[in-house]
Amino acid sequence: MTDKNNQLDQKRILLIHPLGYRKEAAGHDISRMANIMPPLGLAGIAAYLEREGFAADIIDCYAHPDSDALILDYLREKRPAFTGFSCTTSSFLDGVRIAELVKAELAGVRTVFGGVHVSAMQEKVLDDFPVVDFVVVGEGEETLTELLRAGNSEPAGVEGVIFRDGNGAVVYNGYRQTRLELDSLPFPAYEKLAGYPDAYMLPIFNYPKAPNTSCISSRGCPYACSYCDRSVFRRNFRYNSAEYLYGHLRYLKEKFGIRHINFYDDQFTFNRERVVDFTTMMIEQPLGMTFNCAVRAEHIDFELLKLMKKAGCWMISLGIETGDPDLLAQHRQNADLDMLAEKIRLISKAGIRVKGLLMMGLPGETESSIRKSMDYVFSLPIDDFNLAKFTPFPGSPIYRNIHELGEFEEDWEKMDCMSFRFIPHGMSRERLEELFIRYYKSHYQRPKVILGYVAMLWKSPDSWRRFIANFFDFIKFARSNKRLGSDGE
Ligand code: B12
């Protein structure tokens, strides 16, 4: 339906996933080379909107960095009344840049921003960025549908929306009170992602087979770690049933030939019964697929792990964060490193690869805590690891008093966990960088780890193919004192 006055299609939205930095750098960015994942939030929203009678398309600039021209062509041809942007903190300003481009091209088009960064910043986004017309806080499916239905009228009653009223005052309708029943959602519109699945790839050495993809089967997390931004789904836990989940995997296999899934749920095993049912289905009616997931140590046991292995579980990631018990206790509930070590050994004993997720530079970090962390981590059967540079995100609890805990340079575009934006009291950036490199090197120089990567020649030949194809960029990156790979979590 095209608007008679300004000729915009009021029932159409273009959803944009910004790249987050200069496109010239994208070809040599280690993080992108190591992994490109589908924007599941946008794909879910697109499927939902289409079911509700709207037309929604997606341009993923992260997977396709040179997409400005594509966006402008789309605007000229389809004249959508709305454009939507999904942003993290580091990609937000690139989203603003594209929004300015969009507004300059198509008069009357409205811009909606959603995702984690704006859910944390809320009214401040409209105060500071005139190019943003609406912010959607929290879950997007219902809120965006109602916003689109409101069309040109003020979305005064739409929960979750922040807008400017007729006088230019910024109004927030409050966090949406009801939450979606996840089994009622259509599967994400993967087919709207250009080149899916081949344009997307999981972290190198993190999967046995291609094509592969990531998937989300729950929302929210009941824990409240100091560094974690929970602005979108907050502290609850909702999940897809085992039946829905199995159906989702079967769909991915049949429609796209997917052979391996990485579940990006914060707590895949939080509901044990669901995992038992799901794994039983995968064992009794095999799909020929394997999977990875992330767990919290409290929510696994050996029986469950054996079942998961039988069902095709290839790797489990666990947030360790730091091996220094005192530092961990400052940032995480139930910090019990002995229990964590025992669970890591159980995963390994069950024949599943273990990936440790660590952080360096947390408030309170010292040379001694880094040494303790390395000793702890290297005493465990960890096959792979990711060491992130701690970054205080606006929605995380620690952000509130971060300036009291060290030196923080809040430059959103650089807040991608690839550089130390925060320097804890008593440490220097140079020293942190040195210890960071030492941490990584110590991991990669361990004979068990080297043998593990050799074994990947037959366990994950596709990873080796990608590694060789990008060999010179990986070496250049390693020499430039940054970190090898980044998978966000
Ligand atoms: C998978 C994942 C990744 C993947 C893929 C990201 C992608 N392509 O979308 C990878 C590994 C690449 C990644 C990278 C990074 N990630 Co990440 N990631 C996640 C994770 C675990 C799941 C995201 C997801 O799919 N959620 C499920 C979907 C359904 O939810 P959603 O995306 O939030 O979308 C919903 C709403 O937000 C809203 N919405 C979203 N977009 C829009 C747009 C519009 C218009 C509307 C109306 C609504 C709306 O509606 C959606 C449906 O309800 C989240 C944590 C989490 N549990 O959400 C962290 C998370 C988003 N990542 C985080 C971080 C820090 C990063 C990195 C900076 C870290 C790094 N260097 O590795 C990079 C940044 C990359 C970038 N360019 O932005 C932080 C973001 C914090 C922040 N303020 O920026 C999070 C929140 C983790 C955390 N708790 O701290 N990440």
Tens digit of pLDDT for each residue in 38-85? 999 999 999 999 999 999 999 999 999 889 999 999 999 999 999 999
323-332 pLDDT per residue, tens = 999 999 999 9
Domain boundary among the residues 132, 152, 172 is at: 172
What's the helix, strand, coil split of the chain in %, to 5?
Answer: 40, 20, 40
Of the chain, the percentage scoring pLDDT greater than 70 comes to 93
pLDDT of residue 488: 44
Which amino acid residue places its CA nearest to atom 64 of ligand 1?
A: 488
Q: What distance in Å separates the CA atoms of residue 114 and residue 92, rounded to the nearest whole number? A: 10
Per-residue model confidence as pLDDT tens digits over 74-97: 999 999 999 999 999 999 999 999
Among the listed residues 431, 318, 305, 309, the one whose alpha carbon sits nearest the alpha carbon of residue 385: 318
pLDDT of residue 22: 59
Dihedral sign, CA of 139, 140, 146, 151? Answer: positive
- Cross-strand bridge partners of residue 386: 357
Q: Annotate 296-358 with three-state secondary structure.
A: CHHHCCHHHHHHHHHCCEEEEEEEEECCCHHHHHHHCCCCCHHHHHHHHHHHHHCCCEEEEEE
- Is there a single domain that holds both residue 105 and residue 207? no
| Within-domain flag for 181 | no
Helix (H) and strand (E) counts in the chain: 18, 17
- What whole-number distance in Å separates Cα of residue 211 and Cα of residue 185? 24
d(CA 110, CA 125): 15
Query: Domain of 83?
Result: 9-172
Find the 440 Cα to ligand 1 centroid distance in Å. Answer: 25
**At residue 26, does pLDDT exceed 60?**
no
Nearest CA to ligand 1 atom 42: 114
SS3 117: helix
Q: What local confidence, expressed as pLDDT, does residue 21 receive?
A: 72
Mean pLDDT throughout 116-145? Answer: 98
Q: Residue 474: is its pLDDT beyond 80?
A: no
Residues in Cβ contact with 343 at an 8 Å cutoff, skipping those fewer than 6 apart? 297, 300, 318
For ligand 1, whether the C-beta of 55 sits within 6 Å is no
CA of 350 to the centre of ligand 1 (A): 30
Whether 478 is in the pocket of ligand 1, judged by its Cβ within 6 Å, is no
Question: Is residue 99 domain-shared with residue 234, that is, in the same domain?
Answer: no
Residue with tokens 């005192």: 326
Nearest Cα to 119, choosing from 156, 94, 80, 85? 85
Number of compact structural domains in the chain = 2
One domain, residues 205 and 168: no
* pLDDT of res. 470: 79
Task: In whole angstroms, give the CA distance from residue 55 to residue 2.
Answer: 12
Whose Cα sits closest to atom 69 in ligand 1?
488
Check pLDDT > 60 for residue 28. no
Task: Count CB-CB contacts under 10 A for residue 196.
Answer: 21
Asked whether residue 1 is assigned to any structural domain, the reply reads: no
The answer to whether residues 328 and 287 belong to one domain is yes
Same domain, 77 and 128: yes
Question: Does ligand 1 have an atom closer than 6 angstroms to the CB of 398?
Answer: no
Q: Ligand 1 within 6 A of 160 CB?
A: no
Tokens, residue 39: 């924007």
Kindly indicate the confidence band of residue 235, based on its pLDDT and cuts at 50, 70 and 90. confident
Are residues 148 and 235 located together in one domain of the fold?
A: no
Is the pLDDT higher at 484 or at 70? Answer: 70
Rounded to 5°, the CA angle 37-21-394 comes to: 80
Looking at residue 30, its pLDDT comes to 59
Q: Among the three residues 152, 172, 192, which one is the final residue of a domain in this structure?
A: 172
- Ligand 1 pocket check: which of 37, 61, 88 to mutate, most ligand atoms within 8 Å of Cβ? 88
Instruction: Determine contact, residues 419/388, Cβ cutoff 8 Å.
Output: no
- Average pLDDT of 405-418? 93
* Ligand 1 contacts CB of residue 220 (under 6 A): no
34 and 107 Cβ atoms separated by less than 8 Å: no
The reported pLDDT for the residue numbered 98 is: 97
Q: Are residues 168 and 210 in the same domain?
A: no
pLDDT recorded at residue 187: 98
**Does 195 map to a domain?**
no
Rg over alpha carbons for the chain, rounded to the nearest Å, is: 22
Distance from residue 116's CA to the centre of ligand 1 (Å): 7
> How far apart, in whole angstroms, are the C-alpha atoms of residue 67 and residue 87?
16
Q: What is the DSSP string of 375-415?
A: HHHHTS---EEEEEEP---TTSGGGGGGGGTEEE---GGG-
Query: What are 144-173's pLDDT values in tens digits?
Result: 999 999 998 999 999 999 999 999 999 999
Question: Quick check: CB of 146 below 6 Å from ligand 1?
Answer: no
Report whether residue 232 contacts ligand 1, using a CB cutoff of 6 Å: yes
Query: What distance in angstroms lies between residue 88's CA and the mean position of ligand 1's atoms?
Result: 6
The pLDDT of residue 143 is 98
> Six-digit token pair at 423?
């320097």
Q: What is the mean pLDDT of residues 196-209?
A: 93
Please indicate whether residue 345 or residue 452 has the higher confidence score (pLDDT).
Answer: 345
Q: Do residues 103 and 152 share a domain?
A: yes
For 343-351, what is the mean pLDDT? Answer: 98
Q: Give the SS3 label for residue 427.
A: coil
Instruction: Assess whether 159 and 262 both reside in one domain.
Output: no
CATH number at residue 405: 3.80.30.20
Closest atom, ligand 1, to C-alpha of 488: 72
Q: Is 465 contained in some domain?
A: yes
Domain membership of residue 379 (yes or no) is yes
Residues 6+ apart with CB under 8 A from 83: 13, 14, 15, 16, 75, 99, 102, 109, 110, 111, 112
Q: What is the mean pLDDT of the chain?
A: 92
Whole-prediction pTM value? 0.94
Evaluate: CB of 41 within 6 angstroms of ligand 1: yes
- Distance from residue 286's CA to the centre of ligand 1 (Å): 30
Residue 109 contacts residue 81 (beta carbons within 8 Å): yes
Buried b (16+ CB within 10 A) or exposed e, 415-440: bbbbebbbbbeebeeeebbebbeebb
Q: If we measure between CA atoms, which residue out of 68, 101, 74, 95 comes closest to residue 9?
A: 74
Which residue's alpha carbon is at the smallest distance from atom 18 of ligand 1? 488
Q: What is the arithmetic mean of pLDDT over 422-432?
A: 96
pLDDT recorded at residue 6: 65
Ligand 1 in contact with 116 (CB < 6 A)?
yes
Tell me the CATH number at 164: 3.40.50.280
Mean pLDDT, residues 447-476 taken together: 86
Please name the residue ranges forming H helices in 131-229. Answer: 141-150
- Nearest ligand 1 atom to alpha carbon 62: 77
Is 109 inside any structural domain? yes
Picking from 151, 172, 193, the residue at the C-terminal end of a domain is 172
Nearest alpha carbon to residue 270 among 332, 340, 214, 219: 219
Q: Using the mean position of ligand 1's atoms as its centre, give its distance from the Cα of residue 264 in Å.
A: 10
Residues 466, 356 share a domain: yes
What is the distance in A from the centroid of ligand 1 to the CA of 28?
Answer: 22
Pairing of strands 170-172, 353-360: unpaired
Whether residue 322 is found in the same domain as residue 462:
yes
Look at residue 59 and tell me if it is in a domain: yes
The verdict on 133 and 226 lying in the same domain is no
Alpha helices in 81-218 (DSSP H): 92-105, 116-121, 123-128, 141-150
* Residue bearing the bigger pLDDT, 414 or 474: 414
Is 205 a residue whose pLDDT tops 60?
Answer: yes
Q: Is residue 177 part of a domain?
A: no
